[in-house]
Amino acid sequence: MTTDSRTWFYTTPEPRPYYIEERVNQTLWKNRLQTLYMNCTKATTPIQMEGTWQGSPVRFEWQPGKYFILTTAQESKELIGVMRQILMIRPSLSYGSPDGMHVVEWHTDGGSNRWTELQGKPQYQGLRRLRKD
């Protein structure tokens, strides 16, 4: 099965964990992330997945066609770069979460509303705008 983000991010996938896992994992493996395996923990919007990459936790959350959130233990330019290629858009913003994780968000609308929502909140450390639309 050949798949890409059009089958799970740009369209709403069938809410069956196995199908979501198959599509997302095949996309990851096809894009040089063969050691990352994601498990679907929530198959309805917002869809959530968890996995481990290079010994560190990785979480995905997304609402099809709207936003994608990557959460990792520390910033990984390699993983961010591959997700940028997979999603076919530049990331919108990044920050440190209250639980000490590194978060990067992609928004199909550019992320202006999310930027405004997070600005000035001290629990989001190092908030950076990566894309302005």
pLDDT 10s digits, 67-103: 999 999 999 999 999 999 999 999 999 999 999 999 9
**DSSP assignment letter at 58:** E
3-state secondary structure of 100: coil
Residue ranges in the chain modelled with pLDDT below 70: 1-2, 132-133
Give dist(CA 82, CA 33) in Å, integer. Answer: 8
Give residue limits of the domains in the chain: 5-129
pTM: 0.94
* Cβ atoms of residues 45 and 28 within 8 Å: no
